[in-house]
Homo-oligomer: A and B are copies of this chain.
Amino acid sequence: MTQQEMLQALQDLIGADKVRTDTDALITFGRDWTKIHEPKPSAIVFPRSTQEVQALVKFANQHQLALVPSGGRTGLSAGAVATQGEIVVAFDYMNKLLEFNPVDRSVTVEAGMITEQLQQIAEEKGLFYPVDFASAGSSQIGGNISTNAGGIKVIRYGMTRDWVTGLRVVTGQGDILELNNRGLLKNNTGYDLRHLFIGAEGTLGLITEATIQLARAPKDLQVLVLGVVGMAEVMQVLHTFQTSLDLTAFEFFSHNALEKVVEHQGLNAPFDTQAPYYALIEFETTQEEQLEEAMRLFEACVEQGWVVDGAMSQSEQQAQNLWRLREDISETISQYTPYKNDISVRVSKVPQFLAEVDQVVSEHYPDFEIVWFGHIGDGNLHLNILKPENLAKEEFFSRCHQVSQWVFAIVSRYQGSVSAEHGVGLIKKDYLHHTRTPEEIAYMKAIKRAFDPHNVLNPGKIFDL
């Protein structure tokens, strides 16, 4: 089948105006937020229904073509990057709200809906979609589910996985499956295939619809930013606050992250005192006592010598501004071509783990600037290495890869994860063995073959068959 015949066939399947091959589309839809691989898709297709997705998958099986699912393209592991002539399946035209049910407090939406739109729908209904992160304005639900997105509220609300009660998928064999019947709360009838598709990065099937549970909206969120003297002390602060308040977020970032955000985003520092690290704590204040308790805990942390200064939000606007100090870091440092690691261990192991990683990093990157931030309340740290201006990209990434090996060896020893929330994609697959055993990887491949025997869905992502 020639390229021309393939394009004609795709146009026949889903309509001429839903197949694009212009350079602009190939570049835009062929990659995600990682800018490491050169995008080289052969076409971008925009199905409008589950049936069209099914037709595309069957076509791919017939002609041994590869499909790459594409959501909002905000991925950080090159899970949706097309580098070898694949057909990119973009869900931009499948973004409808299909059902809202106030009794079940649930919505069913198409996979292409933007995360922020789902958050807004929930808000309009007096409810709350609690999965939130910096890319919520462009990421799509289908992509969130395929990578089991985490973000800034995991400590209270869990990952995307915890809010998906039903899925409609097209498997690699081209079967349409309705998993858990649009959100049964209880259904113990054999294997839970829904959870298998969540976080599978589009390698088992393409998600076309999802039923999402919504939560009660939290009331009167307070934000507290504290200057902390060291990483181990950040963990002490976490433990102190967690013992008597139900936290909705506990984030941390290093001083150079704060400096850069303040400068580039035109924000104010939370207070004058400088500290090596900062903790951002968010909690609900349904009662006056919770506010008093937070002040008491803050003072206790100061007395212990862990905390040097702090600022509490006095209004919703102030709370938002404090949040921006943390949320704008990723965008701010993107101009420095950062090399990102997204690692996690059990919360109890964080202090020791951090000390070891910190030592390796400062030993081996004496000339690189390191920016730390992350969801430390979940044991999840983002280690960002900034490229020096005068160093070529290739040389920089190559040196970073080298140090990653040492970092991942520590992760491995602490039984941690080499990808806490970004997924594996192309970027982490060489490191997968640090977190999953050869036996586990072999079982994953067997499952892949059961759902996608011709390897047409996102081939080469997570692992090579």
Q: Counting CB contacts under 8 A, is A354 at the interface?
A: no
Interface residues of A in 316-362 (CB under 8 A from B): 344-348
Q: Is the CB of B346 within 8 A of A421?
A: no
Residue of B183, B193, B424 touching A188 (CB-CB under 8 A) = B424
Q: Is the CB of B443 within 8 A of A193?
A: yes
Interface residues of A in 367-399 (CB under 8 A from B): 375, 378-380
User: Which residues of the partner chain B approach A196 to less than 8 Å between Cβ atoms?
Assistant: 191-192, 195-196
Q: Is the CB of A420 within 8 A of B177?
A: no
Task: State A451–B196 Cα separation when bound (angstroms).
Answer: 15
Q: Counting CB contacts under 8 A, is A423 at the interface?
A: yes
Q: Is the CB of B287 within 8 A of A346?
A: no
Query: Given A378-B186, A420-B186, is A191 in contact with B435 using a C-beta cutoff of 8 Å?
Result: no
Query: Given A187-B417, A443-B450, is A103 in contact with B239 using a C-beta cutoff of 8 Å?
Result: yes
Q: Counting CB contacts under 8 A, is A3 at the interface?
A: no
Main secondary structure of the interface of A (DSSP, over half): loop
Q: Counting CB contacts under 8 A, is A171 at the interface?
A: yes
Q: Is the CB of A437 within 8 A of B177?
A: yes
User: Which residues of the partner chain B approach A177 to less than 8 Å between Cβ atoms?
Assistant: 437, 439-440, 443
Question: Can you name the residue of chain B whose Cβ is closest to the Cβ of A448?
Answer: B191
Q: Is the CB of B348 within 8 A of A101?
A: yes
Question: Can you name the residue of chain B whose Cβ is closest to the Cβ of A216?
Answer: B246
**Can you list 22 contacts pairing A with B, beta carbon distance less than 8 Å?**
A148-B192, A161-B192, A171-B443, A177-B439, A181-B346, A184-B416, A185-B346, A186-B344, A186-B378, A186-B379, A186-B417, A187-B419, A187-B435, A188-B423, A189-B428, A190-B199, A190-B424, A190-B444, A191-B200, A192-B196, A192-B199, A450-B450
Residue of B150, B183, B436, B439 touching A186 (CB-CB under 8 A) = B150
Given A181-B346, A188-B417, A190-B436, 7 other A-B residues pairs in contact with their CB atoms under 8 A: A171-B443, A175-B443, A185-B379, A186-B378, A190-B432, A192-B198, A193-B440
Q: Counting CB contacts under 8 A, is A104 at the interface?
A: yes
Interface size on A, as a range, is 35 or more
Q: Is the CB of A191 within 8 A of B380?
A: no
Q: How far is the CB of A43 from chain B (nearest CB, A)?
A: 28
User: Which residues of the partner chain B approach A188 to less than 8 Å between Cβ atoms?
Assistant: 147-148, 150, 199, 417, 419-424
Q: Is the CB of A447 within 8 A of B246?
A: no
Task: State A423–B190 Cα separation when bound (angstroms).
Answer: 7
Interface residues of A in 156-198 (CB under 8 A from B): 159, 161-162, 171, 175-179, 181-193, 195-196, 198
Task: State A94–B104 Cα separation when bound (angstroms).
Answer: 40
Most chain B CB inside 10 Å of its own CB: which residue of A185, A195, A199, A200 = A185
User: Which residues of the partner chain B approach A147 to less than 8 Å between Cβ atoms?
Assistant: 188
Q: Counting CB contacts under 8 A, is A119 at the interface?
A: no
Q: Counting CB contacts under 8 A, is A261 at the interface?
A: no
Q: Counting CB contacts under 8 A, is A285 at the interface?
A: no
Residue of B162, B176, B187, B420 touching A420 (CB-CB under 8 A) = B187
User: Which residues of the partner chain B approach A186 to less than 8 Å between Cβ atoms?
Assistant: 150, 154, 159, 344, 375, 378-380, 417, 420-421
Q: How far is the CB of A422 from chain B (nearest CB, A)?
A: 7
Interface residues of A in 97-154 (CB under 8 A from B): 101, 103-104, 106, 147-148, 150, 154
Task: State A375–B187 Cα separation when bound (angstroms).
Answer: 13
User: Which residues of the partner chain B approach A465 to less than 8 Å between Cβ atoms?
Assistant: none
Task: State A259–B173 Cα separation when bound (angstroms).
Answer: 54
Q: Counting CB contacts under 8 A, is A446 at the interface?
A: yes
Query: Given A190-B463, A440-B177, is A379 in contact with B423 using a C-beta cutoff of 8 Å?
Result: no
Task: State A186–B435 Cα separation when bound (angstroms).
Answer: 12
Q: Counting CB contacts under 8 A, is A11 at the interface?
A: no
